[in-house]
Structure 1
């Protein structure tokens, strides 16, 4: 089957307003859910994405553990490796001034990847389209009404359109449309944000690995991207972001240049193509055990970038959400409660590991950022 052309994404064809599963969000989680459903069931699937993909998106580096998930989705490792940049090692100055390097080459699974997110997300969406998923992009979500079937009202250009679905999967990212509408309890642990700068050129040979470096106010992350580009991010609290004025390019550069390892590399880079802010707080939703909807990706649970769980979680939870939807529609349920509990258990394990990692950095005992990372009772209902 062919990849959907632009015209296919602009309007409906006969019968396309009635689907079995409607997925809100066409990022990795939504695409994985759609691919799973179309590869393994006969259910009619629609993917709704509110905007065209942004070429500047976080989630640049993935470990070799991603490849089995892609293979399950029918995407060959060789084809993915050809389109992205191999990642051979990870270097970090965390808990001390010196860099500690960990090589992927000796883990038995090969190297990881530095992703071109636009190409990666487009590849997954194209795979879903080739398998017969209807792709509605861009489309503004106007409302979701429950009933015997969900009615999802959209605006595409100057006209409105309504889709009817038996089941909805929320893959809308941290905006978590259905999670909020259905008033699911959410546990949130912090108010961290990430400021990302994207650079057009850099010393690619010197940046064939990711680099992490802590500072008194947070931590830096530098990664190479395909086509000679680089991404530099700083992770901190929302309050610190405002105090340091890190969205101002001059303040951003001064702060980065002051770091021991990142600074010398930044001097060789031109002005950034883009400077973006993203929420990166950790949170998990208590999803229903057996309802006509569920969530995946960041809408279900989101993680500190230090965990490197983002894209892997998006794919794995998208796959699981697709299975949950199929079981609900074909058998009346059976997998929802297990999926819900697995998310909560995974988040609990992650929170313990994350706290132990932040506890390794003790050079700035008076820093509000690091003190907050060590708070014992940090989880709260959002």
Structure 2
């Protein structure tokens, strides 16, 4: 967006307790939690929720944070999700293994359209009392006299805000934190090459998540609520770059080497549009500072294999709100406590990640698996 400050209106300063940059799950969970504490919140989201968003699988325990945020029943009533009762995986051996959610204390998991799910969270936050700006671009921000002064371009206007606290919820970009000299500690080169396909005919009930390991990565696929299927090939960026140099049909070539994923896609068209996104695991070496902190993927990013990305984002938002409340009440060391908790969460995740990847031993000479074993 190009803003012409000579021809457009300039709004007066509006004051909020907390300004959140980013309206994804982490930002919205933080907002909903802060509203429960009685704080005023403004959310600035750079999109209108019509962009590509991946991470369509919600684990059964998603019920816990959504219930805490007071929107679990709304989620169930939205009709924008479909239940997932089973994970089928070919991992460590070519045969499929079934992990039935019926044995999970929270029951079934969920498949969602992420654009619709994120928009649902944003509008729930707005209905609860937060101010929401879509297609908003943060122009500048600086700290003066313990208050943040922000300029935001939206709807061909320049908005001026003041807030007592600032939250980086910009996802993998970590756009705010990096300006505070935080550094990303990246643990791998994982990317996802994703496509969405519509069935050639009406599908039968097929609500499982399918995961299939391959020589140079792994595949996942799931039927979405609209009956389209999302298919992703997870590999390392350099492997993909080398592969497409050798063959322009690299993604399909790798698909043909699979057993279960190829079979599942037999009733889908062979034409597709691929989207590539970063899926690397990383953490920031600094997730908080004077009057600010990072939440969700802006602070720590998980491998999609964990299916914990959205759950983690909601949880960090809830914990962040508690830390901010203590900070604004001048309690001792709440941001340090939050940072310690974030580090603990990520360390535990790395242990689980290592355990899962090390259980696949069929391709000992593959760079992808050697890097993880």
- Calculate the TM-score normalised by the size of structure 2: 0.90
1:77-156 pair list within 5 angstroms: 77=73, 79-80=75-76, 82-148=79-145, 149-156=147-154
Q: Partner of 2:95: helix, strand, or coil?
A: coil
Instruction: Structure 1: give runs of 5+ residues left out of the alignment.
Output: 1-10, 375-382
Cα distance in 1 for partners of 2:65, 2:35 equals: 16
Q: Partner of 1:331: helix, strand, or coil?
A: coil
Alignment partner of 1:74 is 2:73: no
Change (3 A) 1:87 1:272: farther
Alignment root-mean-square deviation, CA: 2.3
1:208-227 pair list within 5 angstroms: 208-227=207-226
Contact 1:56 1:274 in 2 (8 A): no
Contact 1:286 1:344 in 2 (8 A): no
Cα distance in 1 for partners of 2:310, 2:369 equals: 26
Q: Which 10-residue stretch deviates more, 77-86 or 122-131?
A: 77-86
Contact 1:114 1:226 in 2 (8 A): yes
Change (3 A) 1:272 1:32: farther
Q: Which 10-residue stretch deviates more, 283-292 or 165-174?
A: 283-292
Shift of 1:255: 2.1
Residue equivalent to 2:325: 326
Residue equivalent to 1:56: 52
Change (3 A) 1:179 1:14: closer
Q: Which 10-residue stretch deviates more, 180-189 or 272-281?
A: 272-281
Q: Partner of 1:365: helix, strand, or coil?
A: coil
Cα distance in 1 for partners of 2:198, 2:259 equals: 22
1:1-382 pair list within 5 angstroms: 17-41=14-38, 43-54=39-50, 56-77=52-73, 79-80=75-76, 82-148=79-145, 149-201=147-199, 204-205=203-204, 207-245=206-244, 250-271=249-270, 274-287=273-286, 291-374=290-373
Q: Partner of 2:23: helix, strand, or coil?
A: coil
Cα distance in 2 for partners of 1:15, 1:326 equals: 27
Q: Which 10-residue stretch deviates more, 199-208 or 62-71?
A: 199-208
Cα distance in 1 for partners of 2:106, 2:13 equals: 42
Contact 2:288 2:294 in 1 (8 A): no
Cα distance in 2 for partners of 1:12, 1:58 equals: 36
Shift of 1:161: 2.6
Contact 2:26 2:169 in 1 (8 A): yes
Shift of 1:355: 1.2
Contact 1:288 1:337 in 2 (8 A): no
Contact 2:194 2:231 in 1 (8 A): yes
